[in-house]
A and B are shown apart, each in its own frame.
Chain A
Amino acid sequence: DTGVSQNPRHKITKRGQNVTFRCDPISEHNRLYWYRQTLGQGPEFLTYFQNEAQLEKSRLLSDRFSAERPKGSFSTLEIQRTEQGDSAMYLCASSRTGESIQYFGAGTRLSVL
């Protein structure tokens, strides 16, 4: 069990550029979650996958955000036309089907200049 892996750990980009983050969940976990966290706040739910199906997406999620999990294994989160307000820590978590405990990766810190 190698845990949830996220890449890159840090990303600095200019406003208007597109960025993509990758998450590799724990191998036997069917469920995968993306969160965003800013300083002093708890994680904010973005979206959730059961295998390759995206089953839930936050109403707060802008159309500039898209996530995929094409083969039910790793997932990518893309942000198009980044804005300074997108600067945050992006966290990925995974869990087994039927279990509520979510295990988190170390996160990707995005800075939009």
Chain B
Amino acid sequence: EDQVTQSPEALRLQEGESSSLNCSYTVSGLRGLFWYRQDPGKGPEFLFTLYSAGEEKEKERLKATLTKKESFLHITAPKPEDSATYLCAVVNAGNNRKLIWGLGTSLAVNP
């Protein structure tokens, strides 16, 4: 069964303290892996799509990487405004319409 596991569940950082969030997946033929950011009371906001092992994408202080088993979201020198829940989702080759979601990592960045 396709599955996505995110760790840690929650992470508290000091401003400027870099760290990484993990998304490990088991899927029958990865079609794509997605990172979203979700603020409280709002819908998920698309960040990145990764399609093949070795691929990397960057946006401001965020960098997403992908291997055959997991993805990392690296946060460099975070700021308080980076505080949010970060969700990972995958799509398998058999059904490119259905996102399979992890439970998310709740990130808090203290000033």
Contact surface of A with B, Cβ cutoff 8 Å: 4, 6, 31, 33, 40-45, 48, 55-56, 89, 91, 93, 100-107, 109
- In whole angstroms, what is the CA distance A106 to B99 when docked? 18
* A107 pairs with B42, CB closer than 8 A: yes
Contact A42 B97 (CB under 8 A): no
Task: Contacts A42-B87, A42-B89 given; indicate if A102 touches B99 (C-beta within 8 A).
Answer: yes
Query: A104 contacts which of B31, B41, B43, B91 (Cβ < 8 Å)?
Result: B43
| Residue contact A100 to B34, C-beta cutoff 8 Å | yes
Instruction: Count B-side interface residues using an 8 Å CB cutoff.
Output: 23
Instruction: Please classify the interface of chain B as helix (H, G, I), strand (E, B), loop, or mixed, using the class held by over half of its residues.
Output: strand
**Alpha-carbon gap, A100 to B91, bound state (A):** 8
The secondary structure that dominates the A interface is strand
Residues of chain B having any CB pair with chain A under 8 Å: 4, 31-32, 34, 36, 41-46, 49, 87, 89, 91, 96-99, 101-104
Chain B residue nearest in CB terms to A31: B97
Query: Which of A42, A48, A56 meets B103, CB within 8 Å?
Result: A42
With the chains together, A105 CA to B103 CA distance in Å?
19
A109 near B31 (CB under 8 angstroms)?
no
C-alpha spacing A84/B88, complex, angstroms: 28
Cβ–Cβ contact B34 & A101, under 8 A? yes
Bound-state Cα–Cα, A71 to B22, Å: 41
Cβ of A48: which chain B residues have Cβ within 8 Å of it?
97-98
B97 partner residues in chain A, CB cutoff 8 A: 31, 33, 48, 55-56, 100
A43 neighbours in B (Cβ, 8 Å): 44, 87, 99, 101
Since A40-B104, A44-B101, A103-B46 are in contact, a sample of 6 more A-B pairs with Cβ atoms closer than 8 Å, ordered by chain A residue number, is A6-B43, A42-B101, A55-B97, A102-B46, A104-B36, A107-B42
A41-B103, A42-B87, A42-B104 given as contacts; is B46 within 8 A of A101 (CB)?
yes
* Nearest A-chain residue to B4, judged by Cβ: A42
10 pairs from A and B in contact (CB 8 Å cutoff): A42-B89, A42-B102, A43-B44, A45-B98, A45-B99, A56-B98, A91-B43, A93-B43, A100-B49, A101-B49
Contact yes or no, B44 A104, CB < 8 A: yes
